[in-house]
Amino acid sequence: MYSIAWMLLVVAQAGPVPAAPVAQSRPEGVAAPAILGTNEAARGLDTSISFAELDELLIGRRASGPKGREALKHLLHTKLLGLLAKESRLSIGSKEVDAKAKEIEARLIQSREAASLAEFLSQSGVPLDVFREHLRLALVQETLARRALGTPPDEELNGEKQEMWLAQVLEQRGAQMPTPPWADGVAARCGDLEVSVKDFLDHLRTVLPAEDVREDCFQLLLLKRMRARMPDLAPEALAKAVDLELERRGRETRDDPRYRGLSYEQVMGAQGLPVAYLRLDPAVLIASLSTLWVDRSQGDKGLRAVYAKERELFDGRFGEAVDARMLFLRASSVPNPLIPRDFPAAEMDLSKWKETVRTADEFGKLARERSEEPFSRDKDGRVGFVTRGDDRLPPEVREALFAAKPAVVGTPMVGPVRVQGGACLLWVGVRRPAPGWEEMSLNVHRELRRRFIEELLTRDAVYTYLNKP
């Protein structure tokens, strides 16, 4: 019998089911958008990338990572099950799949997971044909495992035993999944069975999360446009810029407590990026080229000129800041079922609580219990350092924070402050002075790099093979 948990597992794994063999560059089942040529994977403005260019990135960035290895494993298992079924003269047809699908649908309805199988698959985002292929493969695996283990049809054979059987077959047949770059054109082997690099890449493009593929395409397109903007750049200059960028990332990684002293190369290696690929990775090259562009076009004098011209902007974002906590109550002019509190009622509650709080810890406890703004509430009301131009908070809140005296000489609380949608009480912490030019110049540099990138290409201007025509 198939449990609801098993069905959920099937749906969760639906992505790695491979399509039928692909005879062209574009994955089967993905229509060619009119804007793209036959071999184009993506286009941004007047720049395009081919599937060969995308595949080169996927091999370097994705193939050795957890998602890539899982996709290759599933593809190998799928091909092996097909071979084993052929060798055993086993055929699972539509009749068997239909029967099992009806059984699953009945259990879904009984458990109230969904009103039908179609509804369940729609909610899960899994196409019916993909689910049916998974179901067919599951029946193949179960049948072959039963035969091999001598398990009677009326005796349960759980998924763990089936996986153990399949793992034994893989071991007996000498399954291998070598690391890229796969010079011989084979990504995986199991006895005489081979998974070609082409088959794997066709498969990988269809199963990777769409947001990952779109980001890869965006970065490749952006990198092309950057190189076109800097045609006179010497290879030695780029190599030096890449060295500096990798050194910067290394310092940040060493200083980040999350990585506990690991090097940048170790962290990237854990994500599946080989050390040799780091210098070729578009993200590293984009950072290096944008830094070079700003250095060449501005220099220190140019950065100072930009800062002087846009001082209000940069001081607002990166200047003096106040460490703040917030307790927010929702309110409206006219109480309603969704917000049963008006502004005076919210302000009355906040004023009453204000009289009971003496320390930051007490404020944090009250915010955790009473605040109706989930992001800060879950952090004991902490908002962090707020600058005058911090767009995370309404202008009224920022004005109240900077109008208050620092906590060391005045009251640490201000409010209630009325804002759109409610009112809030604020705990005013320490003030952080505006940085000197050495630090501010880094912020100006970073902003100019961002503008350079946005000038060249924005993500909404990118059209990929994943877009519907």
Q: Which of 154, 183, 208 is the last residue of a domain?
A: 208
* pLDDT at 14 > cutoff 80: no
Of 325, 87, 57, nearest to 215 by C-alpha is: 57
* pLDDT at 13 > cutoff 60: no
Residues 153 and 35 occupy one common structural domain: yes
> What CATH number is associated with residue 401?
3.10.50.40
Residues 54 and 185 occupy one common structural domain: yes
> pLDDT value at position 21?
32
> pLDDT value at position 154?
85
Residues 50 and 153 occupy one common structural domain: yes
| Cα–Cα–Cα angle for 27, 130, 26, rounded to 5 degrees | 5
Residues 40 and 78 occupy one common structural domain: yes
Q: Hey, what amino acid is at 383?
A: V
**DSSP state at residue 62:** I
> pLDDT value at position 6?
41
Q: How many CB atoms lie within 10 A of CB 420?
A: 8
Residues 172 and 27 occupy one common structural domain: yes
> pLDDT value at position 408?
53
| Mean pLDDT score, 348-377 | 91
Residues 128 and 146 occupy one common structural domain: yes
> pLDDT value at position 123?
84
| Mean pLDDT score, 148-167 | 89
> pLDDT value at position 40?
94
Residues 99 and 170 occupy one common structural domain: yes
SS3 436: coil
In this prediction, residue 158 has a pLDDT band, given cuts at 50, 70 and 90, of confident
* pLDDT at 22 > cutoff 70: no
pLDDT per position as a tens digit, 278-337: 999 999 999 999 999 999 999 999 999 999 999 999 999 999 999 999 999 999 988 888
Q: For residue 123, what are the domain limits?
A: 4-208
Say what percent of the chain tops pLDDT 70: 91
* pLDDT at 112 > cutoff 60: yes
Q: Is residue 292, in this structure, part of any structural domain at all? A: yes
Q: Match 């770059």 to its residue by tokens.
A: 181
Q: Is residue 133, in this structure, part of any structural domain at all? A: yes
* pLDDT at 469 > cutoff 60: no
* pLDDT at 82 > cutoff 60: yes
270 or 455, greater pLDDT: 455
Q: Is residue 216, in this structure, part of any structural domain at all? A: yes
CB contact at 8 A, 36 and 468: no
Q: Is residue 178, in this structure, part of any structural domain at all? A: yes
| Mean pLDDT score, 248-268 | 90
Q: Match 């690099």 to its residue by tokens.
A: 197
> pLDDT value at position 406?
62
Q: Is residue 439, in this structure, part of any structural domain at all? A: no
Q: Which of 174, 208, 242 is the last residue of a domain?
A: 208
SS3 24: coil
Q: Is residue 175, in this structure, part of any structural domain at all? A: yes
Q: Which of 208, 234, 253 is the last residue of a domain?
A: 208
- Can you tell me the distance from the alpha carbon of 165 to that of 85, in angstroms, rounded to the nearest whole number? 14
| Mean pLDDT score, 210-235 | 95
> pLDDT value at position 337?
82
SS3 336: coil
Please name the helix (run of DSSP H) or strand (run of DSSP E) that holds residue 40, with its range, or none.
strand 40-44
Please name the helix (run of DSSP H) or strand (run of DSSP E) that holds residue 327, with its range, or none.
strand 321-330
pLDDT per position as a tens digit, 177-211: 999 989 999 999 999 999 999 999 999 998 899 99
29 or 56, greater pLDDT: 56
Length of the chain: 469
Can you point out the beta strands (E) in 338-465?
382-387, 413-419, 422-432, 462-464
* pLDDT at 407 > cutoff 90: no
Residues 268 and 381 occupy one common structural domain: no
Which contacts of 355-364 are long-range, i.e. CB under 8 A and separated by 24 or more positions? 357/413, 360/325, 360/412, 360/427, 360/429, 363/325, 363/327, 363/412, 363/413, 363/427, 364/325
> pLDDT value at position 410?
61
> pLDDT value at position 409?
57
Number of H helices, E strands in the chain: 20, 9
- Can you tell me the distance from the alpha carbon of 197 to that of 458, in angstroms, rounded to the nearest whole number? 32
DSSP 36-90: S-TTEEEEETTEEEEHHHHHHHIIIIITTSHHHHHHHHHHHHHHHHHHHHHHTT-
Rg (CA), the chain: 29
Cβ within 8 Å of residue 106, ≥6 positions away: none
| Mean pLDDT score, 342-366 | 92
Q: Is residue 127, in this structure, part of any structural domain at all? A: yes
Residues 21 and 164 occupy one common structural domain: yes
Number of domains in the chain: 3
Residues 332 and 293 occupy one common structural domain: no
pLDDT per position as a tens digit, 222-231: 999 999 999 9
| Mean pLDDT score, 234-251 | 94
Residues 406 and 371 occupy one common structural domain: yes
Q: Is residue 444, in this structure, part of any structural domain at all? A: no
Q: How many CB atoms lie within 10 A of CB 390?
A: 19
**DSSP state at residue 93:** -
Q: Report the mean per-residue pLDDT for the chain.
A: 87
- Can you tell me the distance from the alpha carbon of 166 to that of 74, in angstroms, rounded to the nearest whole number? 12
In this prediction, residue 27 has a pLDDT band, given cuts at 50, 70 and 90, of very low
Residues 460 and 392 occupy one common structural domain: no
| Mean pLDDT score, 437-465 | 95
pLDDT per position as a tens digit, 409-424: 566 889 899 999 999 9
